[in-house]
Amino acid sequence: MNNSFDVNKIRKDFPILEKKINGKPLVYFDNAATTQKPRQVIEKIQQYYTEMNSNIHRAVHTLSKTSTQEYYKVREIIKDFINAEYFEEIIFTRGTTESINMVAQTWGRANLKSGDEVIITEMEHHSNIVPWQMICEEKGAKLRIAPMTDNCELILEEYEKLLTEKTKIVSFTHISNTLGTVNPIKYMIDKAHSVGAKVLLDAAQSVQHKIIDVRALDCDFLAFSGHKIYGPTGIGVLYGKKSILEEMPPYQGGGDMILSVSFEKTEFNYLPFKYEAGTPNIAGTIGLGEALKYVQSIGLDTIDEYETKLLKHAAERLMEVEGLKILGNAKEKASVISFIFDNIHPNDLGSMIDLHGVAIRTGHHCTEPIMRKFNIPGTSRASFSFYNTIEEVDYFIESLKKVVKMLG
Ligand code: PLP
């Protein structure tokens, strides 16, 4: 681990971590839902609005040129962050959800037909289920589900059995937001390609924890959200291989996605603008660029190593809590732990532990099929970031013990 990593110094970059909740210091363990923002991101957004606010692309005046340059720089930052080959492969969206919908509605509409198959897994977020259900229904294609074990690891033999010449696209998550399971993505991508299927990787829960190299992975599409990687809400990314994006029809029509418009015919713009109709989220994009620079300044290797330490410590100490069962015991896990009790509803637990200043998420986490598989209403989920500490984990465990004693 990078010797200069100093969690106390890092915490000073996150103003919200100074906050008291119900009179107690905030312990923020809801990082899988959204991450907190460092001062650098907040200040960059403020700087944008106070010094350069102006619409991009079209004007020749100085402010517009400045904001356009700042906006364009972010595409390069993202390209390098995920090791894409061309800046044209980076499309700005509202987030992972919109990125997946865009692929389903454009690539899917152009390429799926009756009898074709789309594969997802049993551990997907609703954002990677519903868009495929919608387009499969429209096209008469079939949605196939790769199952997982009771430990919440994908059953690779079953996944491979589903792959046939009918499979047109496979879309799966790198890391499960509910279970923390890390999927063997390179293996899965190669297997999907061996039957000629395209692959979309949902990196909403991984891009902030693991190094992603789209060229080494050879995925065809990749989706992630800015707000889960210390950037603003309302901005995200769709990466797509240039050759595929060039062939796909546009998503929405409007300004910027055109080269010329007449009432008879519209000529669409080049990549990436073809997929970016209308005034984009300029401040959000610039904020995202700053967030990625911040993450790079710490280093994803260092982040992964530190968060793994927090995860292991939390998993061990949770075993001290009477009646607690961890849901998801995959060998490869990232910094998310879901747990359940036979006799305590997760929402009661979440509200009570909030009184101790601890923010965890409770419910189905937008993965209702997982809840159905285990016949439970929901789980309690703690998810960690590099700004969390071992002391916070210990405080969480002690608070949890008190809450369980009261509720149990
Ligand atoms: N996919 C996964 C694995 C997620 O965890 C989430 C959000 O929690 C999403 C997709 C959707 O992300 P967003 O709501 O930012 O579009």
* Residues shown for the chain: 408
Residue 249 has pLDDT above 70, yes or no: yes
Res. 341: pLDDT tops 80: yes
Report the chain's mean pLDDT, rounded to a whole number: 97
CA of 90: how far to CAs of 97, 146, 224, 387, in Å?
16, 29, 11, 28
- pLDDT per position as a tens digit, 195-208: 999 999 999 999 99
Please name the amino acid found at residue 204: A
Which burial class, exposed, middle or buried, applies to 215 when counting CB atoms under 10 A from its CB (0-12, 13-18, 19+)? Answer: exposed
Angle among Cα 80, 334, 183 to the nearest 5 degrees reads 80
Q: For residue 94, what pLDDT is reported?
A: 98
At 392, the pLDDT band (50, 70, 90 cuts) reads very high
User: Which is nearest to 327 in space by CA: 149, 171, 173, 121?
Assistant: 149
Residue nearest to atom 6 of ligand 1 (CA): 204
Average the pLDDT over 11-33 and give the result: 98
pLDDT at position 87: 97
Q: Is the pLDDT of residue 139 over 80?
A: yes
Mean pLDDT to the nearest integer, 87-96: 98
Which atom in ligand 1 lies closest to the alpha carbon of residue 177?
A: 5
Q: Which amino acid is at 165?
A: E
Please check the confidence at residue 3 and state whether its pLDDT lies above 80.
no
pLDDT above 90 for 59: no
- Chain centre distance of CA 21: 27
The rounded Å distance from CA 264 to ligand 1 centre is 40
**Average confidence (pLDDT) over 153-180:** 98
Torsion sign, CA atoms 392, 393, 398, 403: positive
Q: Does 192 have pLDDT greater than 70? A: yes
- pLDDT of 1 strictly over 70: no
In the prediction, which pLDDT does 295 show?
98
Q: Shortest CA distance to 388 belongs to which of 347, 353, 360? A: 360
Average pLDDT over residues 183-188: 98
Average pLDDT over residues 289-307: 98
The pLDDT of residue 89 is above 80: yes
pLDDT for 408 equals: 82
Q: What is the token pair recorded at 381?
A: 């989920």
Q: Which domains, and CATH codes, for the chain?
A: 7-30+299-407 (3.90.1150.10), 42-296 (3.40.640.10)
Q: What atom of ligand 1 comes closest to residue 227's alpha carbon?
A: 15
Residue with tokens 């519209």: 266
φ, ψ (nearest 5 deg) of residue 279: -65, 125
In the chain, the N- to C-terminal Cα span, in Å, equals: 41
In short, whether 202's Cβ falls inside 6 Å of ligand 1 is yes
Residue type, 80: D
Q: What is the reported pLDDT for 68?
A: 95
Which residues are designated catalytic?
366
For residue 223, how far is its CA from the centre of ligand 1 (angstroms)?
9
pLDDT score recorded for residue 4: 82
- Centroid of ligand 1 to alpha carbon of 383 (angstroms): 14
Residue with tokens 């364009």: 72
Decide whether any atom of ligand 1 lies within 6 Å of the 225 Cβ: yes
Does residue 127 have its Cβ closer than 6 Å to ligand 1?
yes
Predicted pLDDT at 264: 96
Listed in order, strand segments (DSSP E) in 269-357 are 325-327, 336-340
Cα–Cα distance for residue pair 297/44, rounded to 1 Å? 16
Q: Is there an atom of ligand 1 within 6 Å of 173 CB?
A: yes
**Which atom number of ligand 1 is nearest to the Cα of residue 34?**
8
Ligand 1 contacts CB of residue 206 (under 6 A):
no
Rounded to an integer, the average pLDDT of 165-181 is 98
Percent above pLDDT 90 for the chain: 98
CA distance 291 to 208: 10
**Atom 4 of ligand 1, residue of closest alpha carbon:** 204
pLDDT band for position 41 (cuts 50, 70, 90) = very high
pLDDT digits (tens, 9 = 90+) for 209-231: 999 999 999 999 999 999 999 99
338 conformational bin, left if phi > 0, alpha if psi -120 to 50, beta if neither: beta
Residue 105, ligand 1, Cβ within 6 A: no
**Six-digit token string for 278:** 């209308």
Band of pLDDT at residue 2, cut at 50, 70 and 90: low
For residue 58, the model assigns a pLDDT of 75
The phi-psi region of residue 278 (left if phi > 0; otherwise alpha if psi is between -120 and 50; otherwise beta) is left
